[in-house]
Structure 1
Amino acid sequence: MSFFNSIGRSMTRSQRGPKRSPTPTSATFSPTDSAPPTPTVAAPPVVPQPRPPLYLCSPFVEAALVKGNFKTIVMLPKYVDIMEWVAVNIFDFYTNLNEFYGVITECCTQQACPTMSAGQTLSYTWINQDRKSVHLPAPTYIDYVMTWIQNLLNDEGVFPTKSGQDFPQSFPSTVKHVYRQLLRVFAHIYHAHYHQILHLRSEPHFNSLFAHFLAFGREYELLEMKDVKGSSSAPVGIGRLWEKWRDMGLLEG
């Protein structure tokens, strides 16, 4: 039963209230009277949606040298030791990424990149000799990372190159640390310098390198997804790129 029907049933002819004044109409207003103002409802403010970064936009997100799933190029070849396979690939990732960064190093300055940013609310910190987290300009941070990795690659005790020499037991944990730091360099370049990559028309090469890096890291458990995506309060920009490539079928879920 509606609200108005319930009122009609409760009223009788003998219970009529006092006569009310007629409802005002246009005929009851004098020419000098003004009609009551019509209430207006303010429209909610339009909040502009933030534009996605260029590396998530078409056609740049689809630009790659490799077609199909990257899993096919990271599989362990027959008769190859897994430690050797991981070591060789890390050397290649480091070398190629270092060459890309060398091209844009003039744009990555202390003034342009005062922090090692990798998202709108994310900046990586470096652990100094006192075991304290400190913010560093991006070029300083990346220089520390690349120098540290180069020293590891040159250390026969960590990356042996002589036949018959075994890898140390700490090798898996070492390469995970290396991988995490290389990921941060990738993340900063995508966040702060992808437009320079586009200017050089190198996005297919850079995208392919990074997709290969992600596929290899996931295949051999060198990457944690929390490092790729970050947290809800400080997301990593490239986390959305990983999801995009997964949906496109380039990477495994």
Structure 2
Amino acid sequence: MSTLIKNNPVPNKYVVFQHHQLGNNYNELYLNNDSSTSLNYNQNTQASLYSNNNGSSLSLRRTHSPSKQSVRSLKSVNQTRQQQSKQAPKPLFICEPFVKIALVKGSYKTIVQLPKYVDYHEWLALNTFELFNHLNKFYGVIAEYVTPDRYPIMTADPKTEYVWMMPNGKTVSLPANQYIDHALTWINNKINDQTIFPTKSGMAFPPSFLKEIKGIYIQMFRIIAHIFHNHFDKFVHLSLEAHWNSYFAHFISFVIEFDLIDKHELEPLRMLIDNLETQGKIIPFSKNTL
């Protein structure tokens, strides 16, 4: 069973940044399961987003680097499976009422936009840290179900397998729990690397920062896609679908606002993203000005 990163403290630089430059208005959302709650960015409330934690912890270790090219089409591997998927019903997360269940109304654009007088790199760093920690907690809810016998390869939809890049440049198939464990550890190591995410005053972000951020978001999206396609029913069973949907709307809004993931990488959740655009919860890619 995959274990998780627990209680990773926010670097001091980002604590100061969040509390003193932004005020107490960032972590105000999603405190209850009332879908009628409206977005209110200026409300003076400090809280934890999408709060659910199973208390698991992740043992850190050195892992190999993932690759943007580590996506394998399963069409050539299993043509029959793909043909069957064409006749299969839509995924549960795209069906009503689940696709419309959320904790808030309105667009998430207002909470992902770069605030006035806030440094661009600081904003990316803070939100990346927050979104990663919440993803880690959500995965903790279903981690015990991600076993090698049930999920011997890391997939999103039936047409997509994610493979891991080894030091020699070769890609290998891993069970989903191992892939996710590698990805979470890899992201955690990046976030705690002072040369990438500097936390001391006067330290500059490296020229490669945006590239590093994009790599992190690709891996987070792959974990999200796996959860949606393989474990959404578990969130429904636990009455957490509104929390999970709200998290994803926040995540994808941030990705769109700052152009952090190529469109082709988002294909496994394209139907859901289109639906959220139609609902007005996220801005369409075509309207993104970046």
Scaled by the length of structure 2, what TM-score is found?
0.67
Equivalent position of 2:158 in the other structure: 120
- The equivalent position to 1:187 in structure 2, one of 221, 225, 229, is 225
Code of the aligned partner of 2:117? Y
- The 5-angstrom pairing of residues 223-234 of structure 1 reads 223-229=261-267
Distance in 1, matches of 2:170 and 2:154, equals 16
- The equivalent position to 1:92 in structure 2, one of 120, 130, 133, is 130
Distance in 1, matches of 2:247 and 2:131, equals 8
1:103 aligns with 2:134: no
Deviations 1:84-118 (A, max 9, x none): 00000000111000001011111011111111110
Unaligned runs of 5+ in 1: 1-47, 230-235
- The 5-angstrom pairing of residues 37-116 of structure 1 reads 49-116=87-154
Code of the aligned partner of 2:272? L
- The equivalent position to 2:247 in structure 1, one of 206, 209, 213, is 209
Aligned-residue identity in percent: 45
Q: Secondary structure at the match of 1:120?
A: coil
Distance in 2, matches of 1:220 and 1:127, equals 26
Scaled by the length of structure 1, what TM-score is found?
0.77
Distance in 2, matches of 1:131 and 1:84, equals 32
RMSD of Structure 2 on Structure 1 (CA): 1.1
1:165 aligns with 2:203: yes
Structure of larger gyration radius = 1
Distance in 2, matches of 1:149 and 1:121, equals 25
Equivalent position of 2:279 in the other structure: 248
**1:223 Cα shift?**
1.5
Distance in 1, matches of 2:226 and 2:232, equals 9
Unaligned runs of 5+ in 2: 1-85, 285-290
Distance in 1, matches of 2:167 and 2:150, equals 26
Deviations 1:208-246 (A, max 9, x none): 1111110101101112111101xxxxxx1x111001111
Deviations 1:167-186 (A, max 9, x none): 00000000001110100000
Structure 1 runs (4+) greater than 6 angstroms displaced: none
**1:165 Cα shift?**
0.8
Code of the aligned partner of 1:246? E
Q: How many residues align?
A: 199
Q: Secondary structure at the match of 1:123?
A: strand
Distance in 1, matches of 2:168 and 2:237, equals 41
1:148 aligns with 2:179: no
Code of the aligned partner of 1:241? L
Distance in 2, matches of 1:190 and 1:122, equals 13
**1:49 Cα shift?**
4.6
Code of the aligned partner of 1:210? F
